[in-house]
Amino acid sequence: MNGDTAAQAPTGTDHSAYGGVGLPSPRPPQDGPAGWRERLARFGYTARPTGTLTERLAPPMPDGPRVTPRDVPQSPLLLRLGVSLPQGLWFFLCRWAGWLGPVAVAVFAGLLRFTNLGQPHAIIFDETYYAKDAYALWHGGYEINWPEDANTTIMTPGAAVPYRATPSYVVHPPVGKWIIGLGEQLFGMNPFGWRFAVALLGTLSVLMVARIARRMFRSTLLGCVAGLLLAVDGLHLVLSRAALLDLVVMFWTLAAFGFLLLDRDRTRALLARRLGGVEDARLAQRLGLGWRPYRIAAGVCVGLTCATKWSGLYVAAAFGLLTVLWDVGARRLAGAPRPFVAVLARDVLPAFVSVVVVAVAVYIASWWGWFASSTAPGQGGWGRDWAVGRSTDFPWIPEALRSLWHYHTTVYEFHVGLSDPHTYQSNPWSWLVLGRPVSFFYESPKYGQAGCTAADCAREVLGIGTPLLWWTGIAALAYCLWRWAARRDWRAGALLCGLAAGYLPWFAYQQRTIFLFYAVVFVPFLVLAVTMLIGALIGPAGASRDRRIIGSAAAGLLVLLIVWNFLFFYPLFTGQTIPLEDWRRRMWFNTWI
């Protein structure tokens, strides 16, 4: 995310010691003998900030334009290796490390996602719905009924796409399908075409996570770690290489969170400037926070989330509450005697308009193709003609909106009543431990077929997270719960809020047919929680040298093990042909088969 607001805050303290790579800032030493706070510091504990009001409202970023000093010393590690860069080049690298590192990680993620993206050369799992719906939207503005043999025809080289303009009843809003269709317009109606746009969003989400983590933890190093962990998560990779809607939901959810984070930093920096760096109870209670473009952008992203899948409604509720509570915290820190009253009087209504009203407007606008279709029976989108000539107690509501409302009531009834048993359905209680993954594609080549070099082979695309990353995530979530409950750490609370928005609502629909891959929506927040745990392992900058060495070694080993675990399962994430025995070695539990 953009670091412009950091320029209003004092320069950080970690440049000279760490060559411009941000690490947790040291806390001032406590007087007296070592107490429990000092002992806990070696495990990642940090006392509440004790700097100026400006430093507490807007902590400095670790590096960036107008932040990194020109005389930043060269890295001691590079010097010990005999590497000394020209000072101008070193300053450039340190100044732009906050972008260079995350972009490098995103390029790595892109290579994983785009390499052989067209393989398997088949319509896998729910691509049978969304790839064709996307094509129909771009060619007619609404979804259609396809012939029974449409999949075979589409996959036949040189065959014409069997498009016909008869409307079809669908139960998901159109934005995700519009996005999938963009790739089809660019590269054709083929597996690479319908997967391209989703792979692009998956790659960009890695960049966003890296920037978000950097901003939250004020550390470029931890930002890059977060990006790397998301890049090597199996579920995120699989969903980035398939034309399904859930990765699109994840992308807009993450974008909304990132914009709210930018809004938080910008608003706090503005508050600090207007207060002159001094607590003022009267001004903090009454001060208006003005135009907040980042929060409006977050509302647009929330609307796009809802316009991809209705589960975005929970994101809207969670993030709306989150931004209001952040305003309460800012006013309290600035000295407001009644921060809740101040927020209710000055911030709640603008927040509601920015997040909810904007999201509703974006959602309705996303149906423009359906609105533009014909109202003649059978010649427009499904249900487009429902309100035409129908009497109503609300004649002031346009017929198009009444037809859309009727459509949505039927969709809601479908969603709450969906309970068709499925081989790969799973209960949300089992998601974090990866109890029941989803097989998107499977075939059993024999010797000489599809690159098989053994008597029997297996080729599968398995929708499952990188096991070690997810199981570490359980410990990380426990750590975040402790940080939030015991230390009121806003970062832990924010991560838990994002995860709760994407995870907890499914517990209310346990009788419904649901799948593990829905969890991709909260994977970025799981990754951020693991990153926060890794930061605690490394330890604060003020910890002893031995503590930092041991902590850094443990954190590095954990990251390496997660990467190894990803590489071990990589053939199952990408549909590579492997000997059947190698496939069986990767089936750690019977429920994975």
| For residue 120, cis peptide bond before it (omega within 30 degrees of 0) | yes
How many whole angstroms separate alpha carbon 246 and alpha carbon 570?
21
Strand, coil or helix: what is 59? coil
Residue 454 included in any domain: yes
Q: Which pLDDT band holds residue 41 (cuts at 50, 70, 90)?
A: low
How many whole angstroms separate alpha carbon 190 and alpha carbon 188?
6
**34 pLDDT higher than 90:** no
Residue 376 included in any domain: no
How many whole angstroms separate alpha carbon 227 and alpha carbon 211?
8
Q: Which pLDDT band holds residue 38 (cuts at 50, 70, 90)?
A: low
Which three-class secondary structure string do you get for 113-156? HHCCCCCCCCCCCCHHHHHHHHHHHHHHCCCECCCCCHHHHHCC
Length of the chain: 593
* 276 CB-contact burial (10 Å; exposed 0-12 / middle 13-18 / buried 19+): exposed
pLDDT tens digits along 505-527? 999 888 888 999 999 999 999 99
Predicted pLDDT at 183: 97
DSSP H helical ranges for 310-397: 312-334, 339-346, 348-352, 358-365, 368-372
* Average pLDDT of span 294-303: 97
Q: State if pTM tops 0.75.
A: yes
pLDDT tens digits along 225-266? 999 999 999 999 999 999 999 999 999 999 999 999 999 999
Predicted pLDDT at 249: 97
Quote the percentage of the chain above a pLDDT of 90: 69
Amino acid at 93: L
Predicted pLDDT at 37: 57
Q: Which pLDDT band holds residue 87 (cuts at 50, 70, 90)?
A: confident
How many CB atoms are closer than 10 A to CB 564? Answer: 12
Total number of domains constituting the chain: 2
Predicted pLDDT at 13: 36
Residue 166 included in any domain: yes
Predicted pLDDT at 25: 39
Residue 409 included in any domain: no
How high does pLDDT run on average in the chain?
89
Predicted pLDDT at 46: 53
Q: Which pLDDT band holds residue 54 (cuts at 50, 70, 90)?
A: confident
Contact 12, 22 (CB under 8 A): yes
Q: Give the tokens for residue 116.
A: 């052989």
Strand, coil or helix: what is 461? strand
How many whole angstroms separate alpha carbon 382 and alpha carbon 378?
8
**45 pLDDT higher than 60:** no
Predicted pLDDT at 189: 96
Among positive and negative, which fits the CA dihedral 380, 386, 391, 396? negative
* Average pLDDT of span 117-133: 95
Residue 419 included in any domain: no
Predicted pLDDT at 55: 83
Task: Kindly state the helix (H) or strand (E) to which residue 257 belongs, with its residue range.
Answer: helix 246-275
Q: Give the tokens for residue 13.
A: 């303290």
Strands (E) located in 397-526: 438-443, 457-463
- Among the three residues 207, 227, 243, which one is the final residue of a domain in this structure? 243
* 474 CB-contact burial (10 Å; exposed 0-12 / middle 13-18 / buried 19+): middle
Q: Which pLDDT band holds residue 494 (cuts at 50, 70, 90)?
A: very high
- Among the three residues 196, 224, 243, which one is the final residue of a domain in this structure? 243
Predicted pLDDT at 1: 46
Residue 564 included in any domain: yes
249 or 289: whose pLDDT is higher?
A: 249
Q: Which of 227, 111, 230 is nearest to 470 (CA)?
A: 230
Q: Give the tokens for residue 268.
A: 């706090």
Q: Which pLDDT band holds residue 49 (cuts at 50, 70, 90)?
A: low
* 508 CB-contact burial (10 Å; exposed 0-12 / middle 13-18 / buried 19+): exposed
How many whole angstroms separate alpha carbon 471 and alpha carbon 219?
24
Task: Kindly state the helix (H) or strand (E) to which residue 579 belongs, with its residue range.
Answer: strand 577-579
pLDDT tens digits along 524-582? 999 999 999 999 999 887 788 888 899 999 999 999 999 999 999 999 999 999 999 99
Residue 29 included in any domain: no
Q: Give the tokens for residue 31.
A: 């007087």
Strand, coil or helix: what is 354? helix
Predicted pLDDT at 39: 61
How many whole angstroms separate alpha carbon 294 and alpha carbon 269?
14
445-452's contacts with Cβ under 8 Å and 24+ in sequence apart are 445/577, 450/577, 451/577, 452/577, 452/579
CA geometry: angle at 59 spanning 29 and 343, to 5°?
120
**180 pLDDT higher than 70:** yes
Predicted pLDDT at 14: 38
How many whole angstroms separate alpha carbon 352 and alpha carbon 104?
37
- Among the three residues 227, 243, 259, which one is the final residue of a domain in this structure? 243
**16 pLDDT higher than 70:** no
Residue 443 included in any domain: yes
Q: Which pLDDT band holds residue 50 (cuts at 50, 70, 90)?
A: low
Q: Provide the domain limits for residue 524.
A: 426-592
